[in-house]
Amino acid sequence: MDNIKSYVQQHKDRFINELIELLKIPSVSADSAYSQDVIDTSEAVKASLEKAGCDYVEICDTPGYPIVYGEKIIDKNLPTVLVYGHYDVQPPDPLDLWTSPPFEPVIKKTDIHPEGAIFARGACDDKGQMYMHVKALEYMVQSSTLPCNVKFMIEGEEEVGSKSLGWFVEKNHEKLKCDVILISDTGMISNQQPSITTGLRGLSYVEVEVTGPNRDLHSGLYGGTVANPINVLAKMIASLHDEDNHITIPGFYDNVEELTAEERAEMAKAPFNLDNYKKALDLNDIYGEKGYVTNERNSIRPTLDVNGIWGGYTGEGAKTVIASKAYAKISMRLVPHQDWEEITELFTKHFESIAPSGVTVKVKPHHGGQGYVTPIDSIGYQAAAKAYEESFGVKPIPVRSGGSIPIVALFEKELKSKTIMMGFGLDSDAIHSPNEHFGIFNYLKGIETIPLFYKHFVELSK
Amino acid sequence: MDNIKSYVQQHKDRFINELIELLKIPSVSADSAYSQDVIDTSEAVKASLEKAGCDYVEICDTPGYPIVYGEKIIDKNLPTVLVYGHYDVQPPDPLDLWTSPPFEPVIKKTDIHPEGAIFARGACDDKGQMYMHVKALEYMVQSSTLPCNVKFMIEGEEEVGSKSLGWFVEKNHEKLKCDVILISDTGMISNQQPSITTGLRGLSYVEVEVTGPNRDLHSGLYGGTVANPINVLAKMIASLHDEDNHITIPGFYDNVEELTAEERAEMAKAPFNLDNYKKALDLNDIYGEKGYVTNERNSIRPTLDVNGIWGGYTGEGAKTVIASKAYAKISMRLVPHQDWEEITELFTKHFESIAPSGVTVKVKPHHGGQGYVTPIDSIGYQAAAKAYEESFGVKPIPVRSGGSIPIVALFEKELKSKTIMMGFGLDSDAIHSPNEHFGIFNYLKGIETIPLFYKHFVELSK
């Protein structure tokens, strides 16, 4: 423990600068304009794994962006840890809300991060958290304390639904064989109270298109005589929730697991202050499904949100037009046992069925993934819990996250291994938002904690 | 009549080429990127009026884009016709739907226009129709048949609500003094059945902004716990119409005049084929206010249409975000007796009142104007009817248009003059849409018909 602490102290400036270099490459997988940058980032990740001490690193081609695979096998008879992460990032827009350019990382102090935080797109999600594992490996190799085999699988399509990962995993069962999968792509409660994510929501992401007249029309000459695709889309979206904010898609809740009063009481123990929550978002009130509290609404309950909407004239000034088409991107967060493909079908069937005559509707499924729950009695969870307790001096709390890492369910199915989600980010890190950042404390603490997981995992596996 | 016909035949190529030159200047008043082009267009209009025979032409500065004023006074004791038109045009987007660039005019034949039509933004609305009056003046001056005084007032802000026109008209009562106002900014039923627009709808155009959280949020971590501004905006827009497509804003219909069964029977006489109407728009069905037919829904009934909507991630691919803000541009078409400023207030009050807690709502009025009706027993209408009958060989039908020319009501109030709307365009000309065009037949027929209006107006005024 002391060795790793002093090693991190000694090398922290280099650790920070190496991450900053990685953050400068705009690896936005959702926008093809950045495709070369995504490729360049995979090369940079490969180089960093070689430098950290992997015996073998390869850039694996896929139908989409490449997957970087690396390994250090010290003894076939020892356990193997498979580290998963992603080197692609969310689109940075809206750019005008960033206080510094998203791909020009800067270190700024904040109330929560008095030691400073790195501000850049991907600082936390997931370049920063992924890179902690690279630096932890460097330490274990340099100090000859690596207690088992390690494999890395770092992909470049996580922010667009890991399109090629399933294809890759199915083809490489042998290569990816492992005893546990380790991911840092989630958060923890606070720097004083670590937590381990034991549950994730699934996701179904679709794009809808409503078409009315075959061309844009003058709203004076045609206003009132034809279905306006934007008005219709608004009506259709509005109808997807009832007045209690329940989702109205028939069959949507069929497989949703209702937690017991005891389980809900357990959840309620996690520290939460509603006033601070509202204050942090400048909200006069919260909003959500009747019968559940905030911590339940974003973890054990499914949701439906419009992530983007557009149609008609959106430029400067005014244009009196009835648009020919209107569009929306809609995503549903799902809970364990809700099958994302089935939900996507239910949505499509329902959305098409509520289209009024006078318009035609298309639903295009984008991507999705299943929810997941990690048993807290597993060796992997126990090892992670010990690691956090040793490095933070506080027992971590198991929590269900509202986010989705669809591939976790895929790993269990294909590789028959449990996944442990050791997150070191904070909700306030603004991932997916302008001014995303990652605390220096969190970054270095992660590097310190990961080797402890290896140690305890190998011991508990004996 | 024969003289004007032969003059048009002799000069038609020049008439067409002069209009094409004018159409090449992208005078988009809604987008400040085109401001110099708008200015350049006012200069071109000034030059064309001087060339046509005005004794005096001036470019009048306003708080916005300039107004071109021109006049030819032959005898103070004779009646004066004031011609109004506008040299600005609608934004051309969506550009990808144009079959030829909007500001590179080309002549193409269509089923409705076997002699060809000029395709360009502004070809009909209103450069083409405005320029007919310039060429008609040229003929009357060249043939010494101008029977009265003529004044021109050509503005550059009609497509953005004629912001400066009221200011200008109030300041220039004496300069603009006239006996009748002549406008060609409307359409007619068909090239075989001319019509004169006797009614116009008013307009109230607003922009709304819904704000939720103070930043874009990750839809996994916050999905279900905060009001999503896009979902809320959709619900609010949806609530503005009931299931019969009546508008739900309290007081909205208070001043709407209900037409008598006789009046509605008169209106029903205008030729209309619903199947062709649907076919022309590729619609499987029409849509609109219960209790009224298509020709009533777009003329004697008020409407509410969303002209544009935007919020969240609208780029390529997927982004799981809850947007901080969502926006919409909404316009209401009003009928005579509905005061646009009062309606704008009613909308604002209502829209703010239906905002759920968890969001804040801003309503920004853009512009508006009153509806208008021209009495068909006025000298002006009678002169126009005779002119059409003489040049088309068919009696014109009086019709109410769904469009708005807010300044017509303004003129009556400020200048105490009636306005006659002699339109020569067709609904199929796609004004405000991609591939706007104006038939060569219509353009030349307009030039032939206008001098006949002058002749009959002076005779009937004796």
Summarize pLDDT for B44-59 with one digit per residue, the tens. Answer: 999 999 999 999 999 9
pLDDT in tens, B208-234: 999 999 999 999 889 999 999 999 999
Q: A67 touching B, CB under 8 A?
A: no
Predicted confidence at residue A399, as pLDDT, reads 86
* Closest among A35, A98, A92, A33 to A64, alpha carbons compared: A35
pLDDT above 70 (res B23): yes
pLDDT in tens, B413-430: 899 999 999 999 998 999
Which whole number is the average pLDDT over B324-340?
95
Q: How far apart are the first and last CA of chain A?
A: 21
Full-model pTM = 0.76
Q: A190 touching B, CB under 8 A?
A: no
Which whole number is the average pLDDT over A88-93?
95
Task: Name every chain A residue with its beta carbon within 8 A of the beta carbon of B311.
Answer: 306, 308-310
The span from the CA of B42 to the CA of B28, in Å, is 12
Which of B245, B309, B325, B357 to probe the A interface (max A CBs under 10 A)?
A: B309
Which whole number is the average pLDDT over B152-159?
96
Computed from CA positions of residues B112, B115, B116, B122, in that sequence, does the dihedral angle turn out positive or negative? Answer: negative
pLDDT above 70 (res A1): no
Predicted confidence at residue A103, as pLDDT, reads 98
* Cβ neighbours of A327 (radius 10 Å): 21
The span from the CA of A321 to the CA of B174, in Å, is 36
Place A43 in a pLDDT band, splitting at 50, 70 and 90.
very high
* Cβ neighbours of B337 (radius 10 Å): 13
Question: Can you list the positions of beta strands (E) in A41-148?
Answer: 56-60, 67-72, 80-86, 106-108, 117-119
pLDDT above 80 (res B390): yes
Q: A243 touching B, CB under 8 A?
A: no
Under a CB-based contact definition with an 8 Å cutoff, are residues A308 and A93 in contact? no
- Which residues neighbour B181 within 8 Å (Cβ) at sequence distance 6 or greater? B81, B82, B83, B84, B408, B411, B415, B417, B418, B419, B420
The proportion of chain A whose per-residue pLDDT surpasses 70, expressed as a percent, equals: 100
- Which residues neighbour B243 within 8 Å (Cβ) at sequence distance 6 or greater? none
pLDDT in tens, B122-133: 999 999 999 999
Q: How far, CA to CA in Å, does B176 sit from each of B60, B87, B158, B421? A: 13, 19, 18, 18
The span from the CA of A150 to the CA of A129, in Å, is 17
Question: Hey, what's the torsion of the CAs at A21, A27, A28, A31, to 10 degrees?
Answer: 140
Residue B337, CB half-sphere, CA atoms under 13 Å: how many?
11
Place B367 in a pLDDT band, splitting at 50, 70 and 90.
confident
The proportion of chain B whose per-residue pLDDT surpasses 70, expressed as a percent, equals: 100
Predicted confidence at residue A407, as pLDDT, reads 84
> Which range (A112-116, A323-327, B371-375) has the least confidence?
B371-375
Task: Look at the block and give the residue holding tokens 């953005």.
Answer: B160
What are the extents of the domains in chain B?
A: 3-200+371-461, 202-256+302-369
pLDDT in tens, B424-462: 999 899 998 999 999 999 999 999 999 999 999 999 999
> Which range (B141-150, B266-275, B390-399) has the least confidence?
B266-275
- Give the type of residue at A134: V
pLDDT in tens, A196-230: 998 889 999 999 999 999 999 999 889 999 999 99
Indicate the DSSP class of residue A433. S
pLDDT above 90 (res B77): yes
Strands A180-183 and B397-400: unpaired
Under a CB-based contact definition with an 8 Å cutoff, are residues B60 and B168 in contact? yes
Question: Hey, what's the torsion of the CAs at A58, A63, A65, A70, to 10 degrees?
Answer: -20
Under a CB-based contact definition with an 8 Å cutoff, are residues A219 and A230 in contact? no
The span from the CA of A230 to the CA of B328, in Å, is 10
Distance from CA of A169 to the nearest CA of B (A): 23
Kindly provide the b/e burial profile for residues B395-404, where b requires at least 16 CB atoms within 10 angstroms of the residue's own CB: ebbbbbbbbb
- For A333, the enclosing helix (H) or strand (E) is strand A325-334
Q: A189 touching B, CB under 8 A?
A: no
Predicted confidence at residue B266, as pLDDT, reads 75
Task: Name every chain A residue with its beta carbon within 8 A of the beta carbon of B402.
Answer: 220-224
Per-window interface: B 341-400 vs A, CB < 8 A: 356-358, 360, 366-367
What's domain A3-200+371-461's superfamily in CATH? Zn peptidases (3.40.630.10)
The span from the CA of B383 to the CA of A363, in Å, is 55
Distance from CA of B298 to the nearest CA of A (A): 6
- Which residues neighbour B95 within 8 Å (Cβ) at sequence distance 6 or greater? B102, B434
Of B30, B404, B435, the CB nearest to A319: B30
* pLDDT, averaged across chain A: 95
* pLDDT, averaged across chain B: 95
Under a CB-based contact definition with an 8 Å cutoff, are residues A321 and A213 in contact? no
Q: A156 touching B, CB under 8 A?
A: no
Task: Look at the block and give the residue holding tokens 């400036």.
Answer: A13
Task: Look at the block and give the residue holding tokens 């704000």.
Answer: B211
Predicted confidence at residue A177, as pLDDT, reads 97
Q: How far apart are the first and last CA of chain B?
A: 21
DSSP calls for A248-283: -STTTTTTPPPPPHHHHHHHTTS---HHHHHHHTT-
Of B161, B217, B238, the CB nearest to A235: B238
Which whole number is the average pLDDT over A321-341?
95
Which whole number is the average pLDDT over A301-306?
97
pLDDT above 60 (res B1): no
pLDDT above 80 (res A266): no
Which of B186, B195, B226, B285 to probe the A interface (max A CBs under 10 A)?
A: B226
CA angle, corner A133, sides to A129 and A135, nearest 5? 110
Q: How far, CA to CA in Å, does B180 sit from each of A303, B140, B416, B422? A: 62, 18, 9, 12
Q: B401 touching A, CB under 8 A?
A: yes
The span from the CA of A407 to the CA of A422, in Å, is 15
CA angle, corner B445, sides to B443 and B448, nearest 5? 115
Q: Would the CB atoms of B224 and A434 count as touching at under 8 Å?
A: no
Supply φ then ψ for residue A383, to 5 degrees: -65, -40
Strands B397-400 and B149-155: unpaired
The span from the CA of A368 to the CA of A160, in Å, is 10
Place B264 in a pLDDT band, splitting at 50, 70 and 90.
confident
Of B203, B220, B287, the CB nearest to A227: B287
* Closest among B230, B246, B367, B244 to B302, alpha carbons compared: B246
CB pairs under 8 A between A and B: 370
Tell me the sheet residues that pair with A195.
Answer: A397
Output the six-digit token pair for A295: 């911590």
CA nearest to A284 within chain B: B358
Which whole number is the average pLDDT over B258-272?
83
Q: A331 touching B, CB under 8 A?
A: yes
Output the six-digit token pair for A366: 């984008």
Question: Considering the domain A202-256+302-369, what is its CATH architecture?
Answer: 2-Layer Sandwich (3.30)
* Closest among B408, B407, B431, B398 to B129, alpha carbons compared: B431
Distance from CA of B131 to the nearest CA of A (A): 22
The span from the CA of A334 to the CA of A256, in Å, is 8
- Which residues neighbour B36 within 8 Å (Cβ) at sequence distance 6 or greater? none
